[in-house]
């Protein structure tokens, strides 16, 4: 039986000549037991009559953001949430740009930012449009946000040119969707209600910056990649996530609430403001010290020689959360330990001192390859023992951690 059997696909049809292939796509999906709800952009209606899609899908075709009858029958929020897969085909340069920029000025684009699924784009456009720098940027952005892409392929185009940009065939789209449904991560988590549905999570990520004066600061090499990936994985698993982030060059994952901070004290205040939560993940590399005598003005080089900085200890955010009274403390408090020696022993010390339920320990080694890199080698340390994971891309490590968090929360019930 096809993985598509019993699934509902929201098919957003963009304005390109390849829209005609989507009539066949609706049939192929129906053959596999999937129901298709079609949304057409105004441009798509120039190519294909809505009646053709309505006849093949056996469902009303939606095209109007402001239709009162639609809103009383099925509002745009419901339409965007009640499907197992959201597929954009043909995904035109315009639809891709709108989705990457978060624009919402018609039903199709509004659905793409109102949905709780990761949309799957099936691009179709002229080769120059596909290779255009703006399109490439938008595609990269959507991929970074976790969206899926099927195609395009190289081939002859309706306009007579040849190159990449041609939409894949309906049967290939169907096979691609089946593959996505088979993967456990990440789309399968998104397709269902998610094991963390109804749970609130706070994730801290990145470094903090502690001012020396208005233009100088003390910081560290944390890139924020692992924390951002954890926030994304928890959101994909259905959690309501607040990501409290120090200064990093990353975009917030889709569906995650971002709270930007600079200093450790600001991070603590943002975490407190985001409480209560079921899960706290302290992935940030919080600066241990701040400058007590930070200058209000830029310190000048001069005859007095280098300034003497006096350091004071920053609040330990993880420890503060771990030691909260039971009714305010998140059920699961997860800390990180970046160590260069005695990994497990040091992580176990942190587990006890900071009152965590889990510590994600990683050996940052002498070469510091973990900071800023894309892989992580983790040992999970808890009261029961230590579990060494293989080296994993940070995104996969995050997904595995999200699954572990879901299991541990379930065991606590």
CA atoms within 13 A on the CB side of 140: 9
Q: According to CB under 6 A, which one of 94, 106, 316, 396 is a site residue for ligand C5P?
A: 316
Under 8 Å CB-to-CB from 228, ≥6 apart: which residues? 205, 243, 245, 248, 250, 252, 253
Q: Which two tokens stand for residue 363?
A: 């050996």
CA terminus-to-terminus distance, the chain: 35
Q: Around Cβ 283, how many Cβ atoms within 10 Å?
A: 26
CA atoms within 13 A on the CB side of 281: 31
Rounded to 5°, angle at Cα 16 from 15 and 17: 135
> Which one of the spans 10-18, 85-93, 309-317, 324-332 is the region binding ligand C5P (CB under 6 A)?
309-317
C-beta of 172 vs 288, nearer to ligand C5P: 288
Binding flag, residue 381, ligand C5P (CB under 6 A): no
Binding mask 269-288 for ligand C5P (x = CB under 6 A): -------------x-x-x-x
- Smallest gap from Cβ 310 to ligand C5P, in A, equals 18
Mapping DSSP to helix (H, G, I), strand (E, B) and coil, where does residue 260 land? strand
- Smallest gap from Cβ 315 to ligand C5P, in A, equals 6
> Which one of the spans 170-178, 322-330, 333-341, 404-412 is the region binding ligand C5P (CB under 6 A)?
333-341
State phi, psi for 327 to the nearest 5 degrees.
-75, -15
Q: According to CB under 6 A, which one of 201, 264, 291, 402 is a site residue for ligand C5P?
A: 264
- Smallest gap from Cβ 71 to ligand C5P, in A, equals 45
* Pick from 271, 154, 303, 137: nearest CA to 202: 271
Q: For this structure, is 147 an active site residue?
A: no
* Pick from 88, 93, 172: nearest CA to 127: 93
- Smallest gap from Cβ 241 to ligand C5P, in A, equals 16
Binding flag, residue 336, ligand C5P (CB under 6 A): yes
Q: According to CB under 6 A, which one of 34, 196, 230, 337 is a site residue for ligand C5P?
A: 337
- Smallest gap from Cβ 196 to ligand C5P, in A, equals 20
Q: Are 32 and 57 in contact (CB under 8 A)?
A: no
Q: 409 vs 199, 330, 334, CA distance in Å?
A: 9, 10, 12
Binding flag, residue 335, ligand C5P (CB under 6 A): yes
C-beta of 185 vs 220, nearer to ligand C5P: 220
Binding mask 188-207 for ligand C5P (x = CB under 6 A): ----------------x---
Q: According to CB under 6 A, which one of 21, 225, 350, 394 is a site residue for ligand C5P?
A: 350
Binding flag, residue 230, ligand C5P (CB under 6 A): no
How do 332-339 and 279-282 pair as beta strands?
parallel
Q: According to CB under 6 A, which one of 18, 44, 218, 318 is a site residue for ligand C5P?
A: 318
Q: According to CB under 6 A, which one of 317, 361, 401, 405 is a site residue for ligand C5P?
A: 317
* Pick from 354, 359, 365: nearest CA to 387: 359
- With 0-12 CB in 10 A as exposed, 13-18 as middle and 19+ as buried, what is 352? exposed
Q: Which two tokens stand for residue 337?
A: 């330990």
Binding flag, residue 210, ligand C5P (CB under 6 A): no
Q: Which two tokens stand for residue 87?
A: 């597929």
Q: Which two tokens stand for residue 200?
A: 């609130």
Q: Which two tokens stand for residue 409?
A: 């929360």
C-beta of 204 vs 236, nearer to ligand C5P: 204
Binding flag, residue 314, ligand C5P (CB under 6 A): yes
Q: Which two tokens stand for residue 76?
A: 């745009």
- Smallest gap from Cβ 299 to ligand C5P, in A, equals 25
Which sequence positions are flagged as catalytic? 159
Report the interface residues with ligand C5P, using CB under 6 A: 204, 264, 282, 284, 286, 288, 314, 316-318, 335-337, 350
């Amino acid at each position: 039986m096809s993985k598509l059997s019993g699934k509902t696909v929201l098919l957003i049809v963009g304005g390109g000549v390849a829209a005609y292939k989507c009539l066949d796509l609706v049939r192929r999906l129906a053959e596999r037991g999937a129901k298709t709800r079609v949304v057409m952009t105004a441009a798509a209606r120039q190519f294909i009559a809505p009646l053709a899609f309505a006849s093949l899908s056996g469902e009303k075709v939606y095209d109007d953001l402001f239709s009162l009858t639609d809103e009383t029958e099925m509002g745009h929020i419901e339409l965007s949430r009640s499907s197992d897969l959201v597929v954009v085909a043909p995904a035109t340069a315009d639809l891709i740009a709108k989705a990457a920029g978060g624009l919402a000025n018609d039903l199709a684009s509004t659905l793409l930012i109102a949905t709780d699924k990761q949309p799957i784009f099936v691009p179709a456009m002229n080769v120059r449009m596909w290779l255009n720098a703006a399109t490439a940027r938008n595609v990269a952005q959507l991929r970074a946000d976790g969206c899926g892409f099927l195609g395009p392929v190289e081939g002859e185009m309706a306009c007579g040119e040849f190159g990449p940009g041609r939409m894949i065939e309906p049967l290939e789209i169907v096979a691609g969707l089946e593959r996505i449904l088979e993967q456990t991560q990440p789309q399968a988590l998104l397709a269902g209600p998610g094991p963390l549905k109804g749970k609130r999570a706070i994730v801290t990520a990145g470094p903090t910056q502690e001012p020396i004066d208005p233009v100088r600061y003390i910081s560290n090499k944390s890139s924020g990649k692992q924390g951002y990936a954890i926030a994304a994985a928890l959101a994909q698993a259905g959690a309501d996530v607040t990501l409290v982030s120090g200064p990093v060059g990353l975009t917030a994952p889709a569906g995650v609430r971002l709270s930007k901070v600079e200093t450790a004290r600001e991070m603590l205040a943002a975490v407190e403001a985001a409480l209560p939560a079921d899960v706290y993940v302290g992935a940030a590399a919080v600066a241990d010290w701040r400058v007590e005598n930070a200058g209000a003005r830029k310190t000048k080089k001069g005859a007095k020689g280098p300034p003497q900085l006096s350091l004071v200890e920053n609040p330990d955010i993880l420890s503060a959360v771990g030691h909260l009274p039971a009714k305010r403390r998140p059920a699961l408090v997860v800390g990180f330990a970046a160590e260069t020696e005695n990994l497990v022993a040091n992580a176990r010390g942190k587990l006890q001192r900071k009152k965590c339920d889990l510590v994600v320990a990683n050996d940052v080694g002498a070469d510091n390859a973990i900071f800023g890199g894309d892989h992580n080698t983790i040992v999970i340390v808890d009261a029961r023992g230590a579990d060494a994971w293989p080296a994993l891309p940070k995104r996969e490590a995050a997904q595995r951690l999200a699954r572990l968090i879901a299991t541990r929360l379930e065991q606590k019930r």
